[in-house]
Amino acid sequence: MPSSYDLLLRQGRLLRPNGDLNTVDIGITAGTIAAIAPHLDASAPLELEVEGQLISPPFVESHIHLDSALTAGEPRWNESGTLFEGIEIWRERKQDLSLDDVKRRALETLKQQAMQGVLYVRSHADVSEANLMALQGLLEVREAVKDWITLQVIAFPQDGIYGGPQNEELLEEALKLGADGVGGIPHYELTREDGVRSVQRIFELAQQYDRLIDIHCDEIDDDQSRFLEVVAACAIRTGMGPRVSASHTTAFGSYNNAYALKLLGFLRRTQINFIANPLINITLQGRTDTYPKRRGLTRVKELWQQGMNVSLGHDCVQDPWYSLGTGNMLDVAFMLIHVAQMTGMSEMNACYDMITWNGAKTLHLGETYGIEVGKPANLIVLDACNRYDALRRRATVRYVISRGNLIASTETPQMKWQPLTS
């Protein structure tokens, strides 16, 4: 008697954590992966023939600003292309945020992401704004979408914890309201000392409220911006490393090698996570250079070689910092391959892992992530035969399965070559 499932995937190429590919059938029941085998003698009301296609765990977006998404050009375009003009434009735009405005844009962006295979998202919410609209909006969205996408919200003091009289209090209020993590921006505090103090305060708050940490850290080309070492010191002293992320750290790309080597040794002891945002880093940084012009990316290849956990973010979708962007994580990894020159086969595969497994580690998703019997049925099917193929062609996502439900599918467009006939 053949067994029966709610949903069956037939003959896909299942990507394993070690990179192996196995051709399998997958049976899903009640939102859970019930069986994985070379052939399942079974039936299901919904059977998807995915022969030769890549079955991957969902993409993980480690760093995005959903509160500012879809506001590009409001009230004006960022003509200098710098981080700082972006912050000024956003400061104008955020004066008239409403809950509906934030929720509508965040939800629209999350849908775009989910349709491109992203089922786990960490978003920053600007909390240096008197009414905490961005934060409250994203917390409501987190609840509203939880049946199909997992959203984590980091309280992010965009204008600095000590950049305004109320900012520190607003940050703490955000944690009381339920933010998943605490953020910061030490390189934008008024002085170096304020920057150091801000990192220490972030660790105190995270311990007090038992939250994750994700700091916008050294997002500048200034080789004297050295808050990453402060993050490392706090992580070593508190033992919080795995719960801590250093986002951007672009100045690391400008440090001299002697300092970078010493720092790498400290970082290895911390077990913190790194989040690079190659689309944004390559466009925002290097703006004060003539030629040669820096790439403005953190040392992704070296961190990966040292065994540190590196994951990736889109950072922006159509906002004051970046007018492009669709939420597609393959675009992010593709850009990383270029900017970090990670073109070796093992390096390209590692870039794919940065938008899947490594992101899951950064977000602290734990045992729920991955495609194994007994785990929640979250997976995607790509029109690609392996990781390299997916990256090279930025492959179409054929099916997105979340909590056992098929939530998005694509009919792959087929381009036909039509030779000239005379």
Residues of this chain that bind ligand 17E (CB under 6 A): 65, 83, 158, 185, 216, 219, 280, 315-316, 321
CA distance 249 to 276: 8
Residue 221 binding target from Fe ion, ligand 17E, none, CB below 5 to 8 Å by type:
none
How distant is the alpha carbon of residue 374 from its chain centre?
26
Pairing verdict, β 309-312 and 379-382: unpaired
Least distance (Å) between residue 70 CB and Fe ion: 16
Q: Which residues neighbour 265 within 8 Å (Cβ) at sequence distance 6 or greater?
A: none
Stretch in the footprint of Fe ion (CB under 5 A) among 127-135, 251-259, 261-269, 311-319 = 311-319
CB of 361 to ligand 17E, least distance (A): 22
CB 410 within 8 A of CB 397: yes
Can you say whether the dihedral through the CA atoms of 290, 286, 327, 350 is positive or negative? positive
Q: Find the part of the chain contacting Fe ion (CB under 5 A) among 23-31, 232-240, 312-320, 344-352.
A: 312-320
Shortest Å distance, C-beta 215 to ligand 17E: 11
Nearer to ligand 17E, 134 or 371 (CB): 134
**DSSP of 297-328:** ---HHHHHHTT-EEEE--B-SSBTTBS---S-
Instruction: Count the residues in the chain.
Output: 422
Residue among 219, 229, 367, 372 flagged as catalytic? 219
Of 34 and 316, the one with the shorter C-beta distance to ligand 17E is 316
Query: Which residues, other chains included, contact 79 with Cβ-Cβ below 8 Å and sequence gap of 6+?
Result: 85
Least CB distance to ligand 17E at residue 139 (A): 19
Alpha-carbon distances of 120 from 37, 206, 368, rounded to whole Å: 26, 22, 11
Residue-wise burial string across 76-105, b where 16 or more C-beta atoms lie within 10 A, e elsewhere: eebeebbbebbbebbeebbeebeeebbbeb
301 binds, among Fe ion, ligand 17E, none (CB under 5 to 8 A by kind): none
Q: Give residues 14-43 in contact with Fe ion (rule: CB under 5 A).
A: none
Nearer to Fe ion, 221 or 315 (CB): 315
Q: What are the CA-CA distances from residue 404 to residues 22, 240, 317, 369 (Å)? A: 21, 34, 28, 14
Say which entry of ligand 17E, Fe ion, none residue 295 contacts (CB below 5 to 8 A, set by partner kind): none
Closest approach of Cβ 284 to ligand 17E, in Å? Answer: 6
In the residue annotation, 372 being an active-site residue is answered as no
Q: Which residue is nearest to ligand 17E (CB)?
A: 321
Q: Give which of Fe ion, ligand 17E, none residue 219 binds (C-beta under 5 to 8 Å, depending on kind).
A: ligand 17E
Residues contacting Fe ion: total by CB under 5 A: 1
| Nearest of 61, 274, 267, 273 to residue 150 by alpha carbon | 61
Shortest reach from residue 111's CB to ligand 17E, in Å? 20
Q: By CB under 5 A, name the binding residues for Fe ion.
A: 315
Query: Catalytic residue positions?
Result: 219
